[in-house]
Amino acid sequence: MVEVNNADNFIGDEELYGKDIEVLIGNVKFTHGTAVMYCDTAYRYKLENKMKAKGNIHIIQNDSLHLYGKRLNYNGNTGIAEVRDDVKLINKDVVLTTDYLDYDRFNNFAYYFNFGKIVNKENVLTSKKGYYYPDTDQVHYKDSVVGVNPKYTIYSDTLIYHTVTKVSKIEGPTFIISDSNTIYAEAGYYDMMHDLALLKENAYVDGEQLLKGDTIYYDRGSGIGEIFNSMELHDTTNNVIIKGDYGFYNEITKDALATKNAELLQMYNNDTLFLHADTLQAVPLEDGEEKLIKAYRKVKYFRTDMQGRCDSMVFDSRDTTNTFYYDPIMWSMGNQLTADIIKMYTKDEVMDKVDLIDRSFIISEEDSCRYNQVKGKLMTGYIRNNEIYKIDVNGNAQSVYFPMDRKNVIGVNRAECSNMTLYLRQRAVEQITMRVSPNGNMNPPFLVPDENLRLDGFYWLEEFRPKTKAEIFIWEELPEIDRGEDLSEYDLDESFNE
């Protein structure tokens, strides 16, 4: 039963109030179990074991929890105190304020339902509905949740906050917004004391670059995000996306790595290059904006007008070049290009030229048994309107091509010299300029032995060309290829690790 301990005035008028009602006025104190309650005025309903009170309400539970308000309805049978107007609950370093709060003494939890605020040291959290559980030091926030911290602001649908550890459990769409980035997740947790997060379900960190993943472990202090499954790192400055099933990104140093089904997407005006490798790494350069993106091992790529493969690749955002290392093969505009190193240049987001460095070889198929060929030490192909229109060959230049009239092959032209320039139109050789010790001949096709129709080091590798972007994830080992003497003056490892 609710027991009255003190009152300045006691009124028990059966005719005025009924025989079951007592009116207590001034410095009222009553107790129930481990709770002590104070107020200015109270109506005690003895048979129902209830109290109605108003004025300077103060409830003390277990000598630790203090609850204040202006109006109170208390049910001694259920232990529920309904406190209204300027309500304040204080427990340790937690202060809860609202105008509508129900407190269940028996189960020791408080519930507000028409907006409330909880202050816990530097963290201030508000919501439309909330449940506070002092025994477990938890607050369950629901609907229109806003958490304010000196470093960031949280907006959420549902949040569970631990007042001691300062860990917020995310159980609905949640944004964490700071000066440096915006974090989003629909599940996981955020450690507000240590600035650590586990983000799940449509999770992302959006700062200078956008980081997505099924699961993201994020350390705001170090700037590192570790991603598991469906990683995406969007670099809008350089128009690239790095993907993988595992990776990390440091938003401070801007280093990134992706592996396990790693994929690089380079966006151009009208097309996208899709590239796969075992590992992708982004390395920032001095100014922080420009970077190298390195692809390690078993590289294959696909764009509608260009496909290829190699062991490793580097994209340099400073001059928008892609450099392909270790047995690179590029198929573009009906041509197969090979060399020790292939370097592709873009200008205004379209291919501008391509350098073939050491043991360079370009082959195009004339028909099922004839191939136009150009070979040399160093080679540069110039591109216009998506076609190679000129090829400069420097050092040991050789060519085999098949001139045609309107329909038929009319001969075989084989030429050698130190340096050579070929001019092409619609992939057909229109003119050759040979410099330094030229040597060439033109013969009918039937007079040229088959072995003279192909230059040393010739290999037609069309079967290894990825025909779709899905095929970049399929790796086939090349046959043993004798490409002749290696005359390279370049240290490939040094160049790749620049």
Residues 49-99 pLDDT 10s? 999 999 999 999 988 899 999 999 999 999 999 999 999 999 989 999 999
Report the range out of 209-218, 314-323, 343-352, 393-402 with the highest average pLDDT: 209-218
Distance, CA of 341 to CA of 85 (rounded, Å): 77
Pull the structure tokens for residue 101: 């709060």
More confident residue, 115 or 432: 115
More confident residue, 445 or 353: 353
Distance, CA of 374 to CA of 433 (rounded, Å): 13
Is the CB of residue 391 less than 8 Å from the CB of residue 401? Answer: no
Lowest-confidence segment of 24-38, 459-473, 474-488 by average pLDDT: 474-488
Lowest-confidence segment of 261-270, 292-301, 336-345, 479-488 by average pLDDT: 479-488
Strands 370-384 and 321-325: unpaired
Q: Which of 117, 119, 81 is CA-nearest to residue 101?
A: 81
Query: Per-residue pLDDT for 339 more than 60?
Result: yes
Is the CB of residue 83 less than 8 Å from the CB of residue 101? Answer: yes
In single-letter form, the type of residue at position 243 comes to K
Report the chain's mean pLDDT, rounded to a whole number. 88
Query: Per-residue pLDDT for 288 more than 70?
Result: no
More confident residue, 74 or 268: 74
Is the CB of residue 192 less than 8 Å from the CB of residue 167? Answer: yes
Name residue 413's beta-bridge partners: 401, 442
> Looking at the domain assignment, is residue 374 inside a domain?
yes
DSSP per-residue codes, 118-149? EEETTEEEEESEEEEETTTTEEEEEEEEEEEE
In single-letter form, the type of residue at position 91 comes to N
Number of domains in the chain: 1
* Segment 110-139 mean pLDDT: 94
More confident residue, 245 or 443: 245
Angle at 465 between CA 334 and CA 265, to 5 degrees: 95
> Looking at the domain assignment, is residue 412 inside a domain?
yes
Q: What is the pLDDT of residue 58?
A: 97
Pick left, alpha or beta for residue 320 (phi over 0 → left; psi -120 to 50 → alpha; otherwise beta).
Answer: left
Distance, CA of 210 to CA of 27 (rounded, Å): 61
Lowest-confidence segment of 44-48, 104-108, 131-135, 222-226 by average pLDDT: 44-48
Which parts of 321-450 fold into alpha helices (H)? none
Q: What is the pLDDT of residue 495?
A: 47
> Looking at the domain assignment, is residue 182 inside a domain?
no
Q: How confident is the model at residue 492 (pLDDT cuts 50, 70, 90)?
A: very low
> Looking at the domain assignment, is residue 66 inside a domain?
no
Lowest-confidence segment of 110-119, 171-180, 429-438 by average pLDDT: 429-438
- Could you list the beta-strand ranges (E) of 260-369: 263-267, 272-276, 279-284, 291-303, 306-316, 321-325, 329-332, 335-338, 341-347, 350-367
Domain span at 483: 288-498
Q: Express each pLDDT in 352-398 by its tens digit.
A: 899 999 999 999 887 767 888 889 999 998 988 878 888 899 988 88
> Looking at the domain assignment, is residue 204 inside a domain?
no
Q: Domain with 322 in it: what CATH number?
A: 2.60.450.10
> Longest Cα pair distance anywhere in the chain, in angstroms?
134
* Segment 394-420 mean pLDDT: 82
Distance, CA of 72 to CA of 83 (rounded, Å): 5
Query: Per-residue pLDDT for 480 more than 90?
Result: no
Is the CB of residue 80 less than 8 Å from the CB of residue 101? Answer: no
Distance, CA of 209 to CA of 451 (rounded, Å): 55
Number of H helices, E strands in the chain: 2, 38
DSSP per-residue codes, 188-250? EEEETTTTEEEEEEEEEEESSSEEEEEEEEEETTTTEEEEEEEEEEEETTTTEEEEEEEEEEE
